[in-house]
Every structure is written in C-alpha cells, then in structure tokens.
Structure 1
C-alpha cells in the first residue's frame, strides 16, 4: 500500500528549472498551501469548470468488462471463485512469505523504544509456517466488521525511527464488512488467520471473520437488491438488541444486500423500519461460523440503490467527501492512504482497482501513459497539463487524482503526509498535511533534484477496455 512519505529536507536547484517550475504560487494567509484558497476546497468549484461534466465515461457493462479484465490479467488480484478446491503447502507458504520479509533494521514501538530482537523473533514464529499442511481444503469466510490487515500476526505497532508514530510498518491494509475471503492458515497463538481477499493477502484477527461455505460467501456477495455506500462512511442504526450490527461502520463503495421483502409491520431490532433500509449483514457466531442478521441503514444516510454513474462530476464529488480526513498508512486511524483513497472513490462507481500504487500504476486493465528516463521535463509537463478529471498520476510511492486545471496547470486531490515547494521568495517551504488535500501539481517537489512531474511514472486513465491504444495525453 505504498504512499510516499516525503523528507523534510527537500531542495531544488532553481537555476536548473524551466520557468513553469520556478513560478511557484505564494501561499494565501491562513491556508498555508500554495495557491489554495477557500474556493479550491469546494467540489462545485471544480465541477463548474468542466465541460460535459455529467457525461458517462464508462457505462455499467463497460465497467464490468474492465473489472473482468482486471481479475483475469492483473497478477496482484485474486480470483477467489476460481481457486482450486484444495490449497497445497507451496501456495500457502508462498503467500505468507511473499507478504513481508523478516525485519532487518531496528524498529521502535509507539513510545520510541527499540523493539527487542526476541519480540520480533516471537512474532515471526507466530506465523506457524512449519504447521502449514501439505494440502488442505479451501475454506471461505466473510469479514464482519472493518478490520486491519497486518504483515505479521501481531497487534504491535512498529516504526522505523523513534520519533515516528504514524507509519506502522506492520500495517498493510484493511477489509470491510461483506468482503469474501479465503482462509489459508492459522497463527500459532490461534488468534489470527492468514487470508486472501480479492485485492490482498495478509493476516487478520480471527474475531473479524466468519467461516462459511463458498455458496454462502459468494451468494451474499451477489445478492440483490443492494445499497452502495456513497458517503465517506456511514453507520448502521444503534441497537442494543443486536450489538454485532449496531453502529457498524460501512466505508465508501461497500455493497450491502437489502431485505426488500421485510414485513413493514415487523420491527428490526426493536425499531420500526419505515425510516431506514433493512439491510443484511454477516455476523460471527460463537464458534466462528457465518450467520446473517438484519440491520437498519437510515434512509438519509449517504447511500444509493446502485453504483453511481462514472462521470467527471461524480469523481470530483466523491473525492471531496474525504477532504480533510486524516492520512492513515495502510488504512490506519480508521482512515485510508493515497491508493486506498483513489480506489474507494472509484469503487463507489463500481470500478475495481488493485490495492497498492505499485500495482495500480502498471495494471494491464487500465489505459495509461508510461514515462521512462528518456522522457524529458518538457514532455512530462505537457502530459501533466493534458490530464483530465479522474486521471491518476503516479510517482514512486504515491498517487494523485486530477480534478482540473487553473491557468492551464493541473490540480490534484490526494491523501498525503505532506508537500514541499518553493515560496514566491524562493525559500523552501514544508507543509505537513497528513490528510486528503487539494494542491496544484506543478510546484510540488519530490527531492533535492526533482519535482513531482519529473518523477511521474505513469498517468492512468479509466476508459473502455475495448480501447487498446494508450491515452495520448496531448
């Protein structure tokens, strides 16, 4: 789930830059980010600047075709429905050992104290690799509440320096209620499963997973009718009668079945349902088995009867629903990181994406303009200026979503720890953002030699899968 954490000491040789990179906008008083005023923080400001803003980019059939191509051709994805009925030791151990290497450099805990070698050794041993059977039946489950995915079976948060408590190096991602899983292995302490989801393979606490048959798991995922969460997140209605489905968080793009035939005169967990949608959620029985329970999702909650149309207006509106949310590496802090942010925006419109920036930016399912060392600064700048709303701009470890341009220069919304740039007077300025933020692209500096534009690896454009040519971005 790499998202860039930029160094504080970022310098750029101004004499080596063309004029477009030297003309860094000054930061307005009170906001402290170059060129950004209150109007740039409103979705409607950017929507109003677009032509054909409500034109459908891909229709539902085209999106389904693209999703199928992603599952078929992208090696970072896992087609759980087509896994064999049994898993051999080589496959399972490969999943586990390819996820994370044993730590080779010092790590620190949340108090800034070094993590003892014997503690790390115990965590590695908890993977229980020697107990992986030569063969096992493929088991399935559903996630019952938002849960962290970890690189190792441990709740210990670890960091690379004694003054960093944000980037937990054992944190990988998160999964959401209703996500299908394959359960591949159990930790030595019997508190963790190693699981494979459609987009990731990692460790999850067992208490967040309910085990069921393939028919139960995929039957739930395919059930209709359904609601799509279109807000940044919503919560089910509180109920003390059913704690497992009370106040449950559902993040953007989560799909939940609707019990449309629920009798209107029958209360749901002690409450009349006429002001809410009666939805069905997976729950975990005491023995870990899968069950289902009704819950209420208020009708005024931000959800829809189907995926939103994929339009430029919806891309902008959905992205701005996260504006100001705290940056969360690997979906930590009950939030998300840069790649999770863009994936969840697109998921609300039915578009699947790989989990990590390194996979998103090269996926064979998407149209893209790749950049190499042979591409000079002028060409890269021209391509950046040609981006459209919804294009995804990838630099090493980071992704940004294009939202439009001002005076011909591109602007982006992205989930970032911070940015570095030159003020009007030429001094280096660092803004620690740690949130979903709106910024111009041109002034942003990557390191002491390069700007973001200098380090672009690709620009991805979501487009019909029948269009085989790369976007010209001219």
Structure 2
C-alpha cells in the first residue's frame, strides 16, 4: 500500500509540473519539458508499480517470514536437437535393389509361411481349444475367464492405478498436458470409473458370455486406464514429455475381434481382450456381434483374408441407389479384413460398421491390388520394399499416438501382410525367430556377429526396449556397416542428457559414432543387444498370448 500511495503522489506532482510547463513548451516548439517526459514514463510504469505492490503486499493471515526467497526461473529446455537424417540415403531401392538377383525370391519357404499364416489367422478367428481368439469361448474359459484369471486381471488394473497415483511414495510423478502434476482427485476419479469390483474373483462368475463379443468398427487407441488425459513424465528430462504419454499403449485396427472383460461405470470405456493385448478402448469404436455375424466373418476370413499395404487406405461404401462414397474410416498398413470378389469381378474388403443399436453390420469397400493383397503375400524383397516405401518417412507415434507407429508397431505392420504375426512389445518380438543374446559382447563383436548370422530383411535387432530390422551390410567410407530400417525417436549420449531427434521411419546405418554428433551413443552400444533371425527353422520360444499387463517400453 505504501508503494501505491507513493506512486499516486508522484503522479500528482507530475501533473502539476505538466500544467506549469505548458506555456514553456509553447515557446520552445519541438522540445519536451523534463517534467512531461517524467510523467509519460511514470504513467507507463504505474500499473506495474501497482501490480508489484499488490503482489508483494503481506497477507495479514499469513505468519511473518524471516526473509523473501525469489523462485528460480523455469529451466530452459535445451536437451532436444534435430538429427540431419537427410545425410543418409532414404531411397528404399538403393538398399533393396530391384536389379538384385534375389529380388523376387521368397525369403520364407511356402510351408513355413503357410504355418505362420495359419497361426496368425487362428489368433483372430480360430476355434481350436488352444487358439487364443477373442471369439473362442473354449480357450478363454480355460485361460482367462476363471477365478485365477479374474484375480490376475484385477491385480493388474490395481497396479496400474497405483503407478499413476502421485500421492504414493516412490512413484515417478506424472503431469498433464498443462505441465501440472496429476492430483489425487484425478486418479481417484479414474479408479472409481473403472468399477474394479466387477473384476473381483469373489464376485465375478466368469463363464464365457457370447454377448460380450465385439469387433472394432474404427481405429481404437488402447489406453492403460480409461481416460484420454495424457500422463507425461517430467518434460525437462531428455526423452520425456510429448509424445511419450505413459498411458498410451497401442492401437487396434478396424475389423479386430475383441471380447469385453469390463465396462467403465460411465459406459464410455471397455476393457477388452484382443488378439494382441488387453487394454481400455473407447466404447464408440466397438460394435457387438451375434452368432450369425461371427459365422459369416469367420467363414469369409477362412476362405480369403486380405491385408492393407498402402498407408491409411480409405474404407468407404455407397448407399443403395447412390454413387457417392460414404467415408467410414481409414485402415493403416497391416489391417486384416476378409477379401471377397464382387459380382462384377472387383476386389472387395469386408469391413464392419455399427448400426443404431451398436450391432455390427457387414459392408464392402472396393480396394485395388495396390492397397489390399491376399494373405499370405509372398515374402520377397520386392514386396517388403513395397510396404517400406509406404511407411518410410512417416512420423513416430509412441504407442500409436495419432495412429502413427512406434518401433514395434512398425515391424508388426511390416510383417503382417505376409502372415507373420509379431507381438506388440519389442522384447517379445524376438520370439518370432532364433535368438542370439549379445549383451556381454563388445560393439565390434556385436556388429561382426550381426553380419555373419543375420539374414537381410529377416533379422530383428532389439536394444533396451527398441526394435529394428536388419537390411544387410553396405560399404561406407571403405568399411562394411550394417544398415537398418526402423521407426526411432532419436539418438542420445551415454549420460542420456539430451535427444538428437529423428522422429520417424528411416533407414540408418549402425555406426559406432555418427559424424553429425560424435557424442551420441551408437544404438549398437546400448547395454542390451539381441538379434533374432526369422525363418529357416522354428523359433526357440513359444509365442505368448496377450497378457493381463503390459511392460513399459523405453523410448529411444
């Protein structure tokens, strides 16, 4: 208040001086009296003086403090830079050469590819006792829909709630899109909406209920908890903040069979079992299916199943008696749908839409051979290159954020048209082939072993929660170096203090050092380094069914 009174007195004195100086200013045209200049400056800063006085005025209800501490300014985020990926040739044809002798030679035997495709299709639509399809009551009743499965599921969901409860000690704090830490009220509201009692083994009589079967009618983001709110770790840490929403897990494509395990209290979310994982999805992306729909869809998929090989292919149809297409949704690469021939010979994809009662109805979309191929598509370098050309250069999407791919979604999408199913998480994808653990080897041994044992286009490389595909070795500055195809966020130094961001699907050599930034650590130099060669023999590990919980990946 003293500051306000002092400022008001100064203003009054300046006004008096201005009046007295008016005649002087008329005698000296073009000059500004000192008092007038002072008044002008004072009038401009007066609101700031008043605001400062109000801001620093003591609160009579607050106890006096020994001294005033000025808050430190927020840290400037200088831990992100852009990696010049244009220094590295991104032309797929340069690395998978059309004039190479084996360009059209299959990379898997017909027998092995058929076996893998049969297993792929069984995950979606199988009826045998061990087929982990969401529509297979026999399998679900013995694996998940029992007291033990219910207890595991309830425990998993409770642990997820605890993981995002900032009020708990030892929990890594998460923040919202406004950079503010999530409150206890926020997580309690989510927990209440989950209605976890419905998963309690003591109350859940969990026989398989055909009415809980469904199918996705749109692309669906899979969330760890039933909320669209993001949960970021501290954005000031390298590799945190956007796009790394810790609640974002994956995405389901249109036409994916699901089984509903639980429903949120407000009805907006469904906890579903899918061929790939268990998670919460928006209820509006699912339609229920009856026995007739399931039989129709299964029969068509058994006769001919197709896969999307062009990014974001449009699924549209026309109303009877019209020719104007009705847009329904888009289908990312790797979407699988029954393939049928129309009466006029056109290639059609069956896809589901929901009617007014949220029951699934079969519709047809005309898709040409450049967008939709019959599975299993012969796994040749030509066909692999065709899919890569559609995916390369597209942005990185953590957990399929904005329906873009992250590292493991990229490899899943790449191999799906060929009938080779890969699990959602990068560490699990190594189960698809013969695995070699090189974590104890030095970087030279790792790169040499990769060149000696790896098969181009058929070898996965896993490093600390990141997965990539080996393309083969190429000469660079007189040295043979491994080339990779991957969807990667960026490179980091050994102390993990910053990110040199790439942020998309790229072709990148595994160099020991990168001349653009010699301080960043080679991807081949991370603590964990494993390779897995697909094909030639059965994998050395069984392929898991979707688990009740998801491991947390590590962004690169």
Say what the alpha-carbon RMSD is for the aligned residues: 3.5
Which of the two has greater helix per residue?
2
Query: What residue number does 2:507 align with?
Result: 438
Q: Does 1 or 2 have the higher relative contact order (CA < 8 Å, sep 6+)?
A: 1
Displacement of 1:67: 5.5
Displacement of 1:107: 1.5
Query: What residue number does 1:20 align with?
Result: none
Query: What residue number does 1:254 align with?
Result: 335
Asked if 1 retains the 8 angstrom alpha-carbon contact of 2:433 and 2:540, the reply is: no
Partner residue of 2:428 out of 329, 338, 359: 359
Query: What residue number does 1:62 align with?
Result: 112
Asked if 2 retains the 8 angstrom alpha-carbon contact of 1:92 and 1:185, the reply is: no
Query: What residue number does 1:280 align with?
Result: 350
Partner residue of 1:404 out of 472, 486, 505: 472
Asked if 2 retains the 8 angstrom alpha-carbon contact of 1:231 and 1:252, the reply is: yes
Q: Does 1:113 align with 2:180?
A: yes
Query: What residue number does 1:88 align with?
Result: 146
Displacement of 1:420: 4.2
Query: What residue number does 1:124 align with?
Result: 191
Query: What residue number does 2:261 align with?
Result: 184
Asked if 1 retains the 8 angstrom alpha-carbon contact of 2:408 and 2:424, the reply is: yes
Unaligned runs of 5+ in 2: 1-76, 124-130, 165-170, 542-556
How far apart are the structure 2 equivalents of 1:216 and 1:240? 20
Query: What residue number does 1:22 align with?
Result: none
Larger-gyration structure (1/2): 2
| Matches for 1:123-162 after TM superposition, within 5 Å | 123-132=190-199, 133-138=203-208, 139-162=212-235
Displacement of 1:300: 6.6
1:113 is paired with a residue of what secondary structure? coil
Partner residue of 2:359 out of 289, 293, 305: 289
Displacement of 1:310: 0.9
Partner residue of 1:33 out of 85, 106, 114: 85
Q: Does 1:309 align with 2:378?
A: yes
Asked if 1 retains the 8 angstrom alpha-carbon contact of 2:312 and 2:333, the reply is: yes
Partner residue of 1:42 out of 83, 91, 94: 91
Query: What residue number does 1:195 align with?
Result: 272
Asked if 2 retains the 8 angstrom alpha-carbon contact of 1:113 and 1:162, the reply is: no
Displacement of 1:176: 0.8
Q: Does 1:413 align with 2:457?
A: no
2:206 is paired with a residue of what secondary structure? strand
How far apart are the structure 1 equivalents of 2:403 and 2:540? 38
Query: What residue number does 2:314 align with?
Result: 235
1:94 is paired with a residue of what secondary structure? helix
Displacement of 1:79: 4.3
TM-score by length of 1: 0.78
Which of the two has greater strand per residue?
1
1:400 is paired with a residue of what secondary structure? strand
| Matches for 1:212-223 after TM superposition, within 5 Å | 212-213=289-290, 216-217=293-294, 219-223=296-300
Asked if 1 retains the 8 angstrom alpha-carbon contact of 2:83 and 2:502, the reply is: no
TM-score by length of 2: 0.67
How far apart are the structure 2 equivalents of 1:314 and 1:258? 19
Asked if 2 retains the 8 angstrom alpha-carbon contact of 1:144 and 1:208, the reply is: yes
1:174 is paired with a residue of what secondary structure? strand
1:168 is paired with a residue of what secondary structure? coil
Q: Residues 358 and 305 (structure 1 numbering): CA distance in 2 closer, same or farther, change over 3 Å?
A: closer
How far apart are the structure 1 equivalents of 2:419 and 2:513? 31
Unaligned runs of 5+ in 1: 1-6, 11-29, 265-273, 423-427, 470-474
1:210 is paired with a residue of what secondary structure? strand
Q: Does 1:333 align with 2:402?
A: yes
How far apart are the structure 2 equivalents of 1:310 and 1:213? 35
2:461 is paired with a residue of what secondary structure? strand
Q: Does 1:378 align with 2:444?
A: yes
How far apart are the structure 2 equivalents of 1:444 and 1:210? 51
Asked if 2 retains the 8 angstrom alpha-carbon contact of 1:59 and 1:310, the reply is: no
Displacement of 1:334: 1.8
Q: Residues 210 and 59 (structure 1 numbering): CA distance in 2 closer, same or farther, change over 3 Å?
A: farther
How far apart are the structure 1 equivalents of 2:448 and 2:95? 21
2:218 is paired with a residue of what secondary structure? coil
Q: Residues 126 and 60 (structure 1 numbering): CA distance in 2 closer, same or farther, change over 3 Å?
A: farther
How far apart are the structure 1 equivalents of 2:110 and 2:184? 52
Query: What residue number does 2:73 align with?
Result: none
The Cα offsets for residues 341-373 of structure 1, whole Å up to 9 and x where unpaired, read as: 001100011110111012113x2x422222242
Displacement of 1:193: 1.1
Query: What residue number does 1:392 align with?
Result: 460
How far apart are the structure 1 equivalents of 2:117 and 2:369? 30
Q: Residues 244 and 126 (structure 1 numbering): CA distance in 2 closer, same or farther, change over 3 Å?
A: farther
Displacement of 1:202: 0.5
Displacement of 1:299: 2.6
| Matches for 1:445-460 after TM superposition, within 5 Å | 451-455=522-526, 456-460=528-532
How far apart are the structure 2 equivalents of 1:245 and 1:359? 39
Query: What residue number does 1:211 align with?
Result: 288
Displacement of 1:253: 2.2
Asked if 1 retains the 8 angstrom alpha-carbon contact of 2:259 and 2:273, the reply is: yes
